[in-house]
Amino acid sequence: MRIVALFVVFMSVMSASAQELSEYGVDTTQTVPSGLAVGAFTPSVEHQTWAGASVTTPKAGQRQLLFFYKGAWNTKAKRFLSNLKDSLDREKIELIVLTPELEGSTKRSEKVLAGVTVCTVSKETMELYEVAFALRPQFANSLKIFQFYNTEKRNEGAGDVLPANAMYLVSKSGKLLWRYFSFDHRHFPSVEEINGVK
């Protein structure tokens, strides 16, 4: 009886977790990422910025904060990014926004992304960073109906794929010093926590 009870508890936890992921738009029938581990070396990638320059991550001798931005529909992310721009110690940390959103695909992102390095990333690049997840068809449709946001048209060949709500603070040598990883697109860490990472 004890084994059966433990199994029931285990299954209820698993189903609750799957239900939460589903509420955040995650298609749990496909691969669900868990992000890079702190202490791991981040992949070396050369990105093209929206300003037409190239930027490499990681960058020797420079701390970088990689912020994965889902897109203009995520109002909470826009508010957080606005605060991040103002409060991050940008003399010590280079802020790089990585997004599947194509440059100019929506004017709703222009203001909040002004003044930062922004790079459009493909599904394959998001997979390198272990942040890419497939959207539930119902969630993708709700974005189209209620947010007037078509991920297939606005994304860089990624289709209905978005990055997790993730941030990676990368050391001067390319190691992951700190990370924030969640599928809940409504909550973010404090900027003070990021600035305080040794």
pLDDT digits (tens, 9 = 90+) for 27-64: 999 999 999 999 999 999 999 999 999 999 999 999 99
Give the three-class secondary structure for 31.
coil
Kindly report the CATH number assigned to the domain that includes residue 155.
3.40.30.10
> Strand 63-68 and strand 54-57: pairing?
unpaired
| Domain span at 176 | 2-195
> What is this structure's pTM?
0.85
Residue 16 has what pLDDT? Answer: 39
As given in the structure block, the two tokens for residue 115 are: 């003044």
Cβ atoms 162, 148 nearer than 8 A: no
Tokens of 1: 């009886």
Number of domains present in the structure of the chain: 1
What radius of gyration do the chain's Cα atoms show?
Answer: 18
HSE value, Cβ hemisphere, 13 Å, CA-based, for 52: 0
